[in-house]
Amino acid sequence: MEKEDDLASMINTFIRSLIIYSIVLVVIRIMGKRQIAQLQPFELVTAVMIAELASIPMEDVGVPLIKGLVPIFALVLAQVFLSYITLKSERARAIICGSPSIIIKNGIIRQAELQKQRINLNDLLEMLRSKNIANIEDVEFAILETNGDLSVFPKSDIKPVSLADMKISGTPEDIPITLIMDGHVLHKNLKYTGQDINWLYEQVNAKGFTFKDIFFAYVDTKGDLKIIAKEAK
CB 76 within 8 A of CB 112: no
Q: Find the helix or strand (DSSP H, E) in which 191 lies.
A: helix 187-193
CB 48 within 8 A of CB 41: no
Neighbours of 229 (CB within 10 A): 14
Q: What are the tens digits of pLDDT across the range 18-66?
A: 887 787 777 777 766 554 445 666 677 777 788 778 777 777 777 777 8
Q: Mention every residue, 6+ apart, whose C-beta is less than 8 A from residue 103.
A: 109, 110, 113, 114, 117, 119, 124, 142, 143, 144, 150
Q: Mention every residue, 6+ apart, whose C-beta is less than 8 A from residue 137.
A: 107, 220, 226
In three-state form (DSSP H/G/I as H, E/B as E, the rest C), the secondary structure along 201-230 is: HHHHHHCCCCHHHEEEEEECCCCCEEEEEC
Q: Mention every residue, 6+ apart, whose C-beta is less than 8 A from residue 49.
A: 75
Q: How far is CA 192 from the centre of its chain?
A: 28
Q: Is the pTM of this model over 0.75?
A: no
What percent of the chain is predicted at pLDDT more than 90? 24
Which of the residue ranges 85-89, 102-106, 137-141 would you say has the lowest mean pLDDT? 85-89
Q: How far apart are CA 23 and CA 31, in angstroms?
A: 12
pLDDT at res. 174: 67
Q: What are the tens digits of pLDDT across the range 4-23?
A: 666 776 777 778 778 877 87
Q: Give the type of residue at 229.
A: A
Dihedrals phi, psi of 125, to nearest 5 degrees: -65, -40
Q: What are the tens digits of pLDDT across the range 81-95?
A: 887 887 777 778 777
pLDDT at res. 36: 46
Is the model's pLDDT at 180 over the cut of 90? yes
pLDDT at res. 173: 59
Q: Mention every residue, 6+ apart, whose C-beta is less than 8 A from residue 210.
A: 204
pLDDT at res. 37: 47
pLDDT at res. 233: 66
Of the candidates 192, 229, 208, 209, the one whose C-alpha atom is nearest the C-alpha of residue 219 is 192
